[in-house]
Amino acid sequence: MSVNATREDTDVSRRLLKLALDGEIKDCRRCEGMNKDRVTASAPGYGSLRSPVALVGQSLCQKCMESQVPFTGGSGELIDKSIEQAGRDKEDVFISNAVHCHPPKNRPSHEHEIVNCSPFLHRELEIVRPRLVITLGRDAERVLGFFYPRARTSKSRLVIPRGRLPRGAPYIFHAKHPSWIQRQHDERLEADYVSGLAAAIRWSFGQAKEEPDG
C-alpha cells in the first residue's frame, strides 16, 4: 500500500472518529444547566485534524457558541492575528477548549465542568495528535498537565526543545489567555504576545515538514 493511500485511510478514520465525538459533545448533559441551545450550548474543537499544533482555551464564549468556532471575535482577535502572522489560515490549525460549553455570562468554569469535559478534549487530541499544544489560560494548563504529566513544557515564551520528546506526549507551551492580555491595555504586550504565538505555530509546522507522519 502506498504512503498516500495509507494517509488517506488515516484521514478518513480521523474524520469518522471526530464526527462521532462531535455528536457526543452535542448530546452531552453531564453538567446541570449546560449545553442548552442558544444559552449554554457547546461547540466541538475546530480545524484541521492533521494540524501539528492545537490551541486549547478555557471555555466557549457567547460569540463562539453562535459561530461554533472557538475564539470568534473578542480576545480571539489576538489568536487570529497570531495564526495570520504565522502564515496560516484558522482552519489549518486545531482549536478547542477545556470546557466545550458556554458558561452562563462567561463565568469561570466550575471544577466539575472541567472534569466532566476533559475526556472529550483528550479524545480530540488523540485524534489530531499535535506535536505542540498551546494552552491559553490556567484551566487548559491544568488539564494538559493531567493528560501528559511527562510532557516537556515551556511557559510565557516557547523554548525550542532539544533532543527527543517523550513518546506519546506533545510539547506543551503554556501561554496567557488572550483576554488577560487585552485587559492590560498595552499595545507592546499584545504585539509580543501575537509574535510569540506566531513563532510557536510556525515552529510546529516546521517540525511537521521534518517529521512527516503516515
pLDDT value at residue 76: 96
pLDDT digits (tens, 9 = 90+) for 29-56: 999 999 999 999 999 999 999 999 999 9
pLDDT digits (tens, 9 = 90+) for 76-111: 999 999 999 999 999 999 999 999 999 998 899 999
% of the chain at pLDDT higher than 90: 84
Of the pLDDT bands very low, low, confident and very high (cuts 50, 70, 90), residue 4 is low
> Domains (ranges, CATH) in the chain?
3-210 (3.40.470.10)
- Alpha-carbon dihedral 105, 106, 112, 113, rounded to 10 degrees: 100
The secondary structure of 135-199 as a DSSP string is EESHHHHHHHHHH-TT--EEESS-----SPPPTT--EEEEE--HHHHHHT--HHHHHHHHHHHHH
pLDDT value at residue 166: 81
pLDDT value at residue 212: 53
pLDDT digits (tens, 9 = 90+) for 176-197: 999 999 999 999 999 999 999 9
pLDDT digits (tens, 9 = 90+) for 104-153: 988 999 999 999 999 999 999 999 999 999 999 999 999 999 999 999 99
List the grid coordinates of 106: 462567561
